[in-house]
């Protein structure tokens, strides 16, 4: 029986042979699997040979094959490969042990396998014993090895399918994770773009805030300048008012002295004309100043209409105010220039005319100065209104700036919150991406492990599949051998049946001739006077030679006596003729192939009958049986002894058909007798009948042990032939 346990033998050189069986079937190719250790470089000149176990040289190989150089093998890893030995080059079956040996291109043995044999499979080689793992009993199950290998192959295939499904599922999950990572990366990119846009908006708002702040500072500085200028103008107006009061007091004093100054009036008339010319010039300048003020008013109106040009207009307004202040300074200087005139008026107080003229001149100057003051006050009021409007505008701008600042602060806070939220989201997405990358890495690692397991399982499955194929090939070869043996047995059976048919035909022909001769002899011997004329005759004497031919069930199946003989004779009442049981039973229809029990019994009957014959017919009918079976069967039938009882001595000798007294199942029962030839009957002591002749030497039938006289050889031969010639039907078919 081929060992189901496959060994993995580590070799001394590092090369490992896998799945080396203990025995291999001849005339079938052998597949050798081996693994090269890491670091071993395969060469096309390396070869694997089958050596005898005791071989000491690499030249003592029986056969060899060149190694296959594997392609695409990773460096630093073990390499698995296999070679095949053709069936025509394998050793012949025998008890010799062999080994696989790996020989490199340098002629050095790098590895050898465990020993194995080449021999034909035995009946028990295809069975393996299995122990039930869950049962507590010591029962062993004996099952065919092909079934076990088929179950293992199905389990490996199922496990491989499960791993493939798991691999496909993991690949789908990895694809989903990759798509999720891609979506997250897209979302992250969009978030980064939005963050960049928000940062740009934030920078723009920051720049706008700086510009507004600068504009506010400029307006604040302008407001301070305007306030300072207004205070200066108020101080100037106050000083001018004081001076006017002083001049009024002086005017009162001058009125007192007008009379004294009138005399000097004429003298001062010329001077007055000159002063009048100066006054006209001053009035012209004042008119020019008024025109300038009107123009300034128009400019202020334009400044109100053009708020965008406020800063430049305020600067121009400041320049105009400065220019007006210069005009006022000039007016004050002119007023200061009147002081000498006042001194002259004091000097000429005695001159009334001159004093009156000076008084009128001073009154006019005072009127002009008052009008100039009024105009200056109006200009100042307008300037204050403009400053107030500018302040209101500044307040509005400040309020708008504050509102813009608050809204900007809110927007900035919202943007900062959004930025923080986006940062948190980005951090979460980054953590998610890292987690997904880690999961993907773990999945890749697990996938690589599963791939490695799948590769190992695949290698194991391939090895098991090759082993199963080898087992199947062995089973097929054994089946072909069995079929050939069965065909040979069928041919031998057909030859045996054909020979039996020929033998039956020959025996039938010989029996017909013998029956006719015996009938003629009996008629001749029956004519002389017999010792007992009233002797009882057997049924065989009344039968014709044609009636003496046996049917399929012999004489015992006939309902009555045969046809009437030439002379009327009475049938004896105490004579019993026993017919042996037929080999082939009487069949009314075709043989049933499924009735194996009846056919086995028929085959046994034929073999037993052949053994009982013990003669040439037995050796012809049983050419394939040995002498041992014949001896055993003969010993069994020797136990059946036939007792012959004497009948009447005057009876004529019966024909051979009447001597069929012993069957294959036993001998003649008590009360039965067989009449021998020459007027003698066989008894237990081989005594002659009373009144008859002396007893001649006897011969015994090898089948039924019936005794016959030695002088009548034909009777013994016919008696032996009668054991076989009892059926005219076709013999049974061996199965």
Cα gap 110→101, rounded to integer Å:
7
Closest CA to 543 of 522, 574, 557, 573: 522
**What is the arithmetic mean of pLDDT over 305-321?**
70
Query: What is the predicted pLDDT for the residue at 395?
Result: 80
Q: What is the CA radius of gyration of the chain?
A: 76
Cα gap 92→94, rounded to integer Å:
6
Cα 75–77–83 angle (5° rounding)?
Answer: 100
CATH topology for 1-120 is: Immunoglobulin-like (2.60.40)
**What is the arithmetic mean of pLDDT over 520-549?**
51
> Residue 673 — very low, low, confident or very high, per pLDDT cuts 50/70/90?
very low
Other C-beta atoms closer than 10 Å to the C-beta of 172 total 10
Is residue 499 within 8 A of residue 191, CB to CB? The reply is no
**Whole-number mean pLDDT of the chain?**
71
Residue 156 phi/psi, 5° resolution? -65, -40
Cα gap 465→126, rounded to integer Å:
17
Q: Which residue has the higher pLDDT, 106 or 572?
A: 106
Q: Measured between alpha carbons, how far is residue 480 from residues 365, 444, 476, 657, 666 in Å?
A: 158, 51, 6, 49, 43
Tell me the three state secondary structure of residue 700. Answer: strand
Cα 687 from chain centroid? 96
Residue 96 phi/psi, 5° resolution? -70, 140
Please report, for the chain, the start and end positions of each structural domain, with discontinuous segments joined by +. Answer: 1-120, 529-561+571-586+594-722
3 state SS for 337-383: HHHHHHHHHHHCCCCHHHHHHHHHHHHHHHHHHHHHHHHHHHHHHHH
Cα gap 166→455, rounded to integer Å:
14
Q: Provide the token pair at 217.
A: 């500072």
Residue 734 phi/psi, 5° resolution? -75, 145
Tell me the three state secondary structure of residue 143. Answer: strand
Q: Calculate what percentage of the chain has a pLDDT beyond 90.
A: 10
Other C-beta atoms closer than 10 Å to the C-beta of 539 total 22
Secondary structure (DSSP) of 391-449: HHHHHHHHHHHHHHHHHHHHHHHHHHHHHHHHHHHHHHHHHHHHHHHHHHHHHHHHHHH
Cα gap 650→173, rounded to integer Å:
114
Cα 643–617–554 angle (5° rounding)?
Answer: 55
**What is the arithmetic mean of pLDDT over 465-471?**
81
The 8-class DSSP code of residue 82 comes to E
**What is the arithmetic mean of pLDDT over 220-249?**
85
Q: Is the pLDDT of residue 666 over 60?
A: no
> Residue 692 — very low, low, confident or very high, per pLDDT cuts 50/70/90?
very low
Is residue 673 within 8 A of residue 679, CB to CB? The reply is no
Cα gap 556→355, rounded to integer Å:
211
> Residue 117 — very low, low, confident or very high, per pLDDT cuts 50/70/90?
very high
Q: Token match 């301070």: residue? A: 224
Q: Is the pLDDT of residue 323 over 90?
A: no
Tell me the three state secondary structure of residue 193. Answer: helix
Burial 663-680 (b: 16+ CB within 10 A, else e): bbebbbeeebbbbbbbbb
Q: Give the up-direction half-sphere exposure of residue 492: CA atoms within 13 A in the CB hemisphere.
A: 13
Tell me the three state secondary structure of residue 28. Answer: coil
Query: What is the predicted pLDDT for the residue at 64?
Result: 95
pLDDT tens, position by position, 281-308:
877 887 887 787 788 777 777 766 766 6
Cα gap 658→665, rounded to integer Å:
18
Q: Is the pLDDT of residue 321 over 80?
A: no
């Amino acid at each position: 029986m081929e060992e189901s346990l496959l060994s993995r033998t580590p070799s001394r050189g590092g090369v490992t042979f896998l799945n080396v069986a203990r025995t291999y079937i001849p005339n079938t190719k052998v597949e050798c699997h081996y693994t090269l250790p890491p670091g071993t470089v395969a060469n096309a000149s390396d070869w694997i040979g089958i050596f005898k176990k005791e071989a000491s040289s690499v030249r003592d190989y029986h056969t060899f094959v060149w190694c296959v150089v594997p392609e695409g093998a990773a460096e630093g890893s073990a390499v698995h490969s296999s070679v095949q030995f053709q069936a025509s080059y394998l050793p012949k079956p025998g008890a010799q042990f062999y080994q696989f040996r790996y020989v490199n291109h340098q002629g050095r043995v790098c590895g050898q396998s465990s020993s194995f044999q080449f021999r034909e499979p035995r009946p028990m080689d295809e069975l393996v014993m299995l122990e039930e793992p869950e049962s507590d009993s010591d029962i062993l199950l004996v099952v065919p090895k092909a079934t076990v290998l088929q179950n293992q192959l199905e389990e490996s295939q199922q496990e491989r399918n499960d791993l493939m499904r798991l691999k496909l599922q993991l690949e789908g999950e990895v694809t989903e994770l990759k798509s999720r990572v891609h979506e997250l990366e897209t979302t992250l990119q969009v978030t980064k773009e939005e963050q960049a846009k928000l940062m740009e908006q934030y920078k723009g708002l920051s720049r706008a805030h700086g510009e507004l702040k600068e504009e506010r500072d400029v307006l604040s500085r302008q407001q301070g300048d305007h306030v300072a200028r207004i205070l200066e103008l108020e101080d100037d107006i106050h000083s001018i008012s004081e001076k006017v009061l002083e001049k009024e007091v002086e005017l009162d004093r001058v009125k007192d002295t007008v009379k004294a100054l009138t005399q000097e009036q004429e003298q001062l008339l010329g001077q007055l004309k000159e002063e009048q010319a100066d006054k006209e010039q001053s009035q012209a300048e004042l008119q020019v100043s008024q025109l300038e003020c009107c123009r300034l008013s128009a400019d202020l109106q334009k400044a109100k209409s053009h708020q965008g040009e406020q800063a430049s207009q305020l600067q121009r307004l400041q320049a105009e105010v400065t220019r007006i202040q210069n005009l006022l300074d000039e007016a004050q200087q002119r007023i200061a220039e009147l002081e000498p005139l006042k001194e002259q008026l004091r000097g000429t107080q005695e001159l009334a005319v001159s004093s009156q003229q000076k008084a009128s001149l001073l009154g006019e100057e005072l009127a002009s100065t008052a009008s100039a003051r009024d105009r200056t006050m109006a200009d100042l009021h307008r300037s204050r209104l403009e400053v107030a409007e500018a302040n209101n505008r500044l307040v509005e701008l400040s309020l708008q700036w504050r509102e813009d600042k608050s809204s900007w602060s809110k927007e900035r806070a919202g943007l900062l919150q959004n930025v923080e939220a986006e940062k948190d989201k980005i951090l979460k997405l980054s953590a998610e991406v890292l987690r997904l990358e880690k999961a993907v890495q773990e999945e890749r690692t697990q996938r690589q492990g599963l791939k490695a397991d799948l590769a190992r399982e695949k290698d194991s499955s391939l090895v098991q599949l090759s082993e199963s194929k080898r087992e199947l090939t062995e089973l097929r070869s054994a089946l072909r051998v069995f079929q050939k043996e069965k065909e040979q047995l069928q041919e031998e059976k057909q030859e045996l049946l054909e020979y039996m048919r020929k033998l039956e035909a020959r025996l039938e022909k010989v029996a017909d001739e013998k029956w006719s001769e015996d009938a003629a002899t009996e008629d001749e011997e029956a004519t002389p006077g017999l010792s007992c004329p009233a002797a009882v005759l057997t049924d065989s004497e009344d039968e014709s030679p044609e009636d003496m031919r046996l049917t399929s069930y012999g004489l015992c199946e006939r309902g009555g006596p045969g046809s009437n003989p030439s002379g009327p004779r009475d049938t004896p009442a105490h004579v019993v003729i026993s017919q042996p049981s037929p080999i082939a039973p009487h069949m009314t229809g075709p043989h049933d192939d499924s009735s194996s029990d009846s056919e086995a019994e028929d085959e046994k009957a034929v073999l037993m009958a052949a053994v009982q014959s013990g003669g040439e017919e037995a050796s012809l009918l049983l050419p394939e049986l040995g002498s041992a079976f014949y001896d055993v069967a003969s010993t069994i039938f020797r136990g059946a002894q036939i007792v012959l009882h004497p009948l009447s001595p005057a009876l004529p000798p019966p024909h051979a058909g009447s001597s069929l007294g012993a069957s294959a199942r036993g001998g003649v029962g008590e009360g039965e007798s067989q009449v021998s030839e020459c007027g003698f009957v066989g008894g237990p002591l081989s005594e002659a009948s009373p009144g008859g002749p002396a007893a001649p030497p006897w011969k015994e039938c090898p089948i039924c042990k019936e005794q016959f006289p030695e002088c009548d050889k034909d009777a013994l031969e016919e008696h032996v032939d009668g054991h076989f010639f009892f059926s005219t039907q076709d013999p049974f078919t061996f199965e």
